[in-house]
Amino acid sequence: MALIRLGFGRQHLRPTKRRSFLLLKLIAAVFAVLLFCEFLIYYLVIFRCDWPEVKTAAQNSGQQTLKAMFLADTHLLGEIRGHWLDKLRREWQMERAFQTALWLLQPEVVFILGDIFDEGKWSSPQAWADDVERFQKIFRHPHHVLLKVVVGNHDIGFHYRMSTYKIKRFEKVFNPERLFSWKGINFVMVNSIALEGDGCNICSKAEAELIEVSRKLNCSREEHHSGPCGGEQPLPASAPVLLQHFPLYRRSDANCSGDDAAPLEERGLPFKERYDVLSREASQKLLWWLRPRLVLSGHTHSACEVLHGAGTLEISVPSFSWRNRNNPSFIMGSLTATRHALAKCFLPRENAVLAAYCVAAGLLAALYCKLLASPFLFGWNLLRKLKTT
Ligand SMILES: [Zn+2]
């Protein structure tokens, strides 16, 4: 009997040790999967992105190059729409993607092309303050990196819902400047919701601002500064880059292509002026007044490249949020005063991350079953031994 008891003690120790070891392996595996899917994957994917090279003519080789990142439609969820888990997940994804991109790619300026918030159009002062605080945490950046933001319809409402109050509270957080020049490159940032063309107070003010910007740009193009241009500090003599939320007028996305263009069944749907895209009239005005060399816009959540008028390229920047896309991205631009080169940086695909979680869950379930099965096996073996003695 004593022999049996001694044997039982020794045999009891071994499976307990094995189970503890398996449990440790299980915890380590869960930790490794989380670390990969929620942290390392952003480094692995964004590491493959590179700044495009600008081909500069020999006589312009003294020009400085500006590294600019363009993203759009972050749609930070507010207090009314969206589940808290959805909010937590999307904001974590955007924070990791943005912080990793800043660290790996070191842009000098980042532009966000509107719809920063999902509920800015109706949020209470308290909800607005909460949203702004979260935005500042997610998109925190060092002092030497500039962050410029363009207003979108979800930030202040569509034309008939926007108000001076909503515009002012947006501009209190984000600089209201329309014209920004750096390294000899001019950027014009437009409130495209105010380009309804109905002569409302906000619209008239926005148009007057654009006409003033147009005058300054025209002065920079003149060789001899005289008349209305005389005496003021001229802007760099460079055609501007136009940044806005609504795209310039286009009939539909039928001619858009690529991995992140609108789904095939939606591409042919006609766009509504002043809702999906700017009106034809407002688009013409912008092209006449500003004569941009490049236009970047958001709002559609999908990618597209369109040529306007005499060959002005417009890029529709897809949404930066996984709530709107399986494959969000941002644009990397290398710009000089006369030239630019653009590249797209794709972020981790949502379905790839979910597939990784599913495979990991399957393996962990198998390991867990093994862990559960071991005490039963141990009991069964013990019973068999007792029977034979
Ligand atoms: Zn929008």
Q: Measure 327 CA to ligand 1 centroid, in angstroms.
A: 18
Token reading at 236: 């760099």
Q: Measure 274 CA to ligand 1 centroid, in angstroms.
A: 11
The CATH number for 137's domain is 3.60.21.10
Among candidate residues 299, 356, 263, 296, the one with its CA nearest the CA of residue 44 = 356
**Distance, CA of 93 to CA of 113 (rounded, Å):** 19
Rounded to an integer, the average pLDDT of 90-101 is 97
Q: Measure 339 CA to ligand 1 centroid, in angstroms.
A: 29
73 neighbors 299 (Cβ within 8 angstroms): yes
**227 found inside a domain:** no
Q: Are residues 8 and 88 in the same domain?
A: no
Q: Measure 196 CA to ligand 1 centroid, in angstroms.
A: 15
Q: Are residues 31 and 151 in the same domain?
A: no
Q: Measure 173 CA to ligand 1 centroid, in angstroms.
A: 19
**120 found inside a domain:** yes
Q: Measure 115 CA to ligand 1 centroid, in angstroms.
A: 5
Q: Measure 194 CA to ligand 1 centroid, in angstroms.
A: 13
Q: Are residues 26 and 143 in the same domain?
A: no
Q: Are residues 94 and 217 in the same domain?
A: yes
Q: Measure 248 CA to ligand 1 centroid, in angstroms.
A: 13
Q: Are residues 255 and 163 in the same domain?
A: yes
**Total domains present in the chain:** 2
Among candidate residues 315, 322, 327, the one with its CA nearest the CA of residue 263 = 327
**361 found inside a domain:** no
Q: Measure 155 CA to ligand 1 centroid, in angstroms.
A: 9
Q: Measure 174 CA to ligand 1 centroid, in angstroms.
A: 17
Q: Are residues 200 and 97 in the same domain?
A: yes
**230 found inside a domain:** no
Q: In this predicted structure, what is the pLDDT of residue 297? A: 97
pLDDT bucket at 309, cuts 50 / 70 / 90: confident
pLDDT higher at 125 or 233:
125
pLDDT bucket at 227, cuts 50 / 70 / 90: low
pLDDT bucket at 59, cuts 50 / 70 / 90: low
Q: In this predicted structure, what is the pLDDT of residue 285? A: 95
Q: Measure 82 CA to ligand 1 centroid, in angstroms.
A: 17
Q: In this predicted structure, what is the pLDDT of residue 4? A: 46
Rounded to an integer, the average pLDDT of 230-252 is 89
Q: Are residues 272 and 137 in the same domain?
A: yes
**Distance, CA of 245 to CA of 162 (rounded, Å):** 15
pLDDT bucket at 21, cuts 50 / 70 / 90: confident
Q: Measure 316 CA to ligand 1 centroid, in angstroms.
A: 12
Q: Measure 253 CA to ligand 1 centroid, in angstroms.
A: 16
Q: Are residues 194 and 105 in the same domain?
A: yes
For the cut 60, the answer to whether the pLDDT of residue 115 exceeds it is yes
Q: Measure 81 CA to ligand 1 centroid, in angstroms.
A: 16
Q: Are residues 31 and 179 in the same domain?
A: no
DSSP state of 76: B
157 neighbors 166 (Cβ within 8 angstroms): yes
**309 found inside a domain:** yes
Q: Are residues 152 and 30 in the same domain?
A: no
pLDDT in tens, 350-362: 999 999 899 888 8
pTM: 0.87
**353 found inside a domain:** no
Query: If phi over 0 gives left and psi between -120 and 50 gives alpha, with beta otherwise, what is residue 52?
Result: beta
Q: Are residues 321 and 376 in the same domain?
A: no
Q: Measure 36 CA to ligand 1 centroid, in angstroms.
A: 32
**268 found inside a domain:** yes
Q: Are residues 138 and 15 in the same domain?
A: no
pLDDT bucket at 80, cuts 50 / 70 / 90: confident
Q: Measure 376 CA to ligand 1 centroid, in angstroms.
A: 59
Q: Measure 23 CA to ligand 1 centroid, in angstroms.
A: 49
**75 found inside a domain:** yes
pLDDT in tens, 160-193: 889 999 999 999 999 878 999 999 999 999 999 9
Instruction: Give the domain range for residue 31.
Output: 2-39+371-388
